[in-house]
């Protein structure tokens, strides 16, 4: 069961701010979310409404899961110190 991955508009800016060596790892993590939107290590955030996060080194991929429509929407890709603000 493969999920469709969609991106919020803010993610384009986030990708532009990523260091070149981090971009392939973030891309691999997002691609893996299509196969398994709840991989080991993923956590549902308590404060945010329906957001999940997966760690990629010092960066966090924040996303929403719509199980009924089988869609994963990437909300933000930020450094850990900025991700939860």
> What are the 10-residue block averages of pLDDT along the chain, 85 residues in total?
92 95 96 95 86 96 95 96 87
pLDDT of residue 25: 97
User: What pLDDT is recorded for position 1?
Assistant: 62
Classify domain 4-80 at the CATH class level: alpha beta
Whether residue 33 contacts residue 39, with contact meaning beta carbons closer than 8 Å, is answered with yes
pTM over the 0.85 mark: yes
Residue 48 has a pLDDT of 64
Q: How far apart are CA 52 and CA 24, in angstroms?
A: 20
**Integer Cα distance of 82 and 66 in angstroms:** 25
């Amino acid at each position: 069961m493969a999920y469709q991955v969609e991106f919020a508009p803010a993610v384009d800016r986030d990708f532009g701010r990523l260091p070149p060596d981090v971009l392939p790892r973030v891309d691999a993590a997002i691609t893996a979310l299509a196969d398994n939107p709840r991989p080991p290590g993923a956590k549902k955030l308590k404060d945010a409404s329906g957001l999940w996060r997966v760690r990629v080194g010092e960066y966090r991929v924040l996303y929403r899961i719509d199980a009924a429509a089988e869609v994963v929407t990437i909300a933000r890709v930020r450094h850990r110190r900025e991700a939860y603000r």
